[in-house]
Amino acid sequence: MREITIGQYYPAESVIHRLDPRVKLVGTLVYIISLFLFKSFSCYFVVAAFLFTVILLSKVPLGYILRGLKTIIFLLLFMSMFNLFFTPGDVVYWKGGPFQITDAGIRNAGFMALRLILLIIGSSLMTFTTTPNQLTDGLESLLKPFKKLGLPVHEVAMMMSIALRFIPILMEETNKIMMAQMARGASFDEGNLIQKAKSLVPLLVPLFVSAFRRADDLAMAMEARCYHGGEGRTKMKPLRYQSRDYIAYVVMLLYLATVIFTGKVLYL
Amino acid sequence: MKNPMIQVKNLIYDYLISKNEDEEPERHRAIDDVTLTVETGDFIAILGHNGSGKSTFAKQINVLLKPTSGTLIVGGMDTADEKNLLPIRQTAGMVFQNPDNQIIATIVEEDVGFGPENIGVPTDEIWKRVEKSLSSVGMLHYRKHSPNRLSGGQKQRVAIAGVMAMKPDCIVLDEPTAMLDPAGRKDVIATVRELNEKENVTVILITHYMDEVVFADKVFVMDAGRIALQGTPREVFSQVEKLKEIGLDVPQVTELAHELKEEGLPLPDGILTPEEFREEIEKLWQSSAEMSPTSILKEADLKSRLSIRSI
Ligand SMILES: Nc1ncnc2c1ncn2[C@@H]1O[C@H](COP(=O)(O)OP(=O)(O)OP(=O)(O)O)[C@@H](O)[C@H]1O
Ligand SMILES: [Mg+2]
């Protein structure tokens, strides 16, 4: 199975790793908002500087982060090309049929690529530095106000953490079944689309059967260990804000202010 | 005199199988009038071939299923009573066959903490229990690991720790070693025996492997939902013919000894371990000054076979 670096935890001892997951979730949200507030290179410069600082603090190697970008490089190229060739503008550098390259097109393509790169790196940094369990705990805690509205917050968080636990197991299983079918002469990358889809049936059926059996077993194992929903449940690792978390919130505000100042007041 | 851990009286359980919505569901009797007592602190083994009702019985103890009729008392609590549900599950923990399908968390220590979290144990106490139960199964070193990277035997030990963290009086293990390699099997059984001896946890071990039950205080053999045989391992394994009738094997040494006895060697019934067998053979050797060449030959053959098998 190909190594997927996007969304995987990268264990290290760093301030960013130690931050409360709620801070990181809110921080990521603030960061994404800041990306879409303005469309100016100077704002992006502030964003990039901030991101770079956080990466340095997180001790996740830059090469490791960039490797995650490889998976989206085609999307990136495609969207940039689209912007480059189809945006009308004042100064037209080149024209051929429906295609044209204009000053606005170049700007747009540049913005688009930058934004996407900054977006992916920023949000994957959160998953690099936060374990799946912390992530679901943080989400559960942040969404707690919605519980009063009848939203099954605990259940959703539990579902997420179980999914995260079983994704690698099911991937391994897919691999095994594929090998087993290939050993019997099946092939998964031959023929046209319909043939390919058909060849997936003997893969998917046993996979689903096994997944349902696992689900059944797991439900029983959870019940046997006294699981009965979120009520009266205590936490082994309750989330508690430390002083560094408050500092991080302040830094976040300062950052947002800087971006707005750059974009709104300086008009850069 | 301590109270018995588990008291079963005339237990019957029917699975209801409904083929159509409107049709009367078909009844399939999985447990058929079982009466037995498990004493506190005992190591109990349950044997029986596929479909004899072992897992169904185990699920009754943990109230994953409730009796169709008859009573089941666990630690003095009736499983039929709704309000006993959580206390019983906390008293009698359960370990299942497939190690992957019973680990919930993505980090070992968090999985062990899952049970205590569910019964509302305070945070500090959870940490203490997690540490204690992980060290009691010899997995403390792996507390920060991902369960996916552990071997099958290690995963089962984590699952046992997860049960132990709830401070149960009794652990029910439903074929915990069925999916493990020999080394993993040995580890898990050694762990369970240690918990039984050191922490005085009542153990109910369901297994297909005969060599895992020779240490048991008591063995129950199930057949078609009934208890077909019960007694100490020696008593049960003396009845080689009856066991074979039910479709069960006896431990390899026991079978060997039994066959030799049939051939006329004066060996006792129910020999359970290779060591015991060797002792008996040596006794024979000393007592009969002049042995017939065939029996010496046979013994030489046996000794070579035994040395291959000896644990
Ligand atoms: N969910 C179910 N619905 C209907 N019948 C069932 C169900 N589970 C088990 N049975 C039946 O009940 C009987 C006892 O099954 P059980 O699983 O308790 O046997 P077992 O001794 O644990 O077997 P094994 O050694 O294969 O685990 C079998 O005849 C089985 O077909
Ligand atoms: Mg079974």
Residues A88 and A180 in one domain: no
Tally of structural domains, chain A: 2
Of A222-231, B37-46, B260-269, the range with the lowest mean pLDDT is B260-269
Residues A15 and A46 in one domain: yes
Tokens of B6: 């588990």
Beta carbons of B123 and A238 less than 8 Å apart: yes
Q: Report whether residue B47 contacts ligand 1, using a CB cutoff of 6 Å.
A: no
Give me the domain span that covers residue A215. Answer: 152-233
- Could you list which residues have their CB under 5 Å from ion ligand 2? B 55
Nearest to A27 by CA among A51, A60, A45, A52: A51
Question: What is the mean predicted confidence (pLDDT) over A224-236?
Answer: 89
Residues A18 and A72 in one domain: yes
Does residue A17 fall inside a structural domain?
yes
Is ipTM over 0.95? no
B215 pLDDT band (50/70/90 cuts)? Answer: confident
Does residue A6 fall inside a structural domain?
yes
B9 pLDDT band (50/70/90 cuts)? Answer: very high
What is each CA distance from B310 to B222, B249, B277, in whole angstroms? Answer: 28, 18, 11
Residues A71 and A130 in one domain: yes
Handedness of CA B47, B311, B216, B230 (dihedral sign): positive
Residues of B whose CB is below 8 A from A132 = 106
Residues A125 and A207 in one domain: no
Instruction: Give residue ranges of B with CB < 8 Å to any A CB.
Output: 59, 62, 64, 86, 89-90, 93-94, 96, 98, 100-107, 109-110, 113-123, 126-127, 130, 147-148, 162-163, 166
Report the share of chain A in percent with pLDDT over 90: 30
Residues A87 and A38 in one domain: yes
Q: Mind giving me the DSSP string for A218-231? A: HHHHHHHTT--SST
Does residue A145 fall inside a structural domain?
no
Does residue A107 fall inside a structural domain?
yes
Residues A69 and A56 in one domain: yes
Beta carbons of A169 and B148 less than 8 Å apart: yes
Residues A256 and A227 in one domain: no
Beta carbons of B116 and A236 less than 8 Å apart: yes
Tokens of B151: 């071997």
Q: Report whether residue B30 contacts ligand 1, using a CB cutoff of 6 Å.
A: yes
In tens, the pLDDT along B83-142 reads: 999 999 999 999 999 999 999 888 899 999 999 999 999 999 999 999 999 999 999 999
| H, E, C per residue of chain B | CCCCCEEEEEEEEEEEECCCCCCCCEEEEEEEEEEEEECCCCEEEEECCCCCCHHHHHHHHCCCCCCCEEEEEECCEECCCHHHHHHHHHHEEEECCCHHHHCCCCCHHHHHHHHHHHCCCCHHHHHHHHHHHHHHCCCHHHCCCCHHHCCHHHHHHHHHHHHHCCCCCEEEEECCCCCCCHHHHHHHHHHHHHHHHHCCCEEEEECCCHHHCCCCCEEEEEECCEEEEEECHHHHHHCHHHHHHHCCCCCHHHHHHHHHHHCCCCCCCCCCCHHHHHHHHHHHHHHCCCCCHHHHHHHHHHHHHHHHHCC
Does residue A244 fall inside a structural domain?
yes
pLDDT over 60 (residue A7): no
Residues of B whose CB is below 8 A from A220 = 59, 64, 96
| Domains of chain B, first to last | 4-246 (3.40.50.300), 252-310 (no CATH)
Residues of B whose CB is below 8 A from A231 = none
- Looking at the complex, does the CB of residue A18 fall below 8 Å from at least one CB of chain B? no
Beta carbons of B106 and A227 less than 8 Å apart: no
Report the share of chain B in percent with pLDDT over 90: 60
Residues A32 and A102 in one domain: yes
Does residue A84 fall inside a structural domain?
yes
Of A67-76, A150-159, B29-38, the range with the lowest mean pLDDT is A67-76
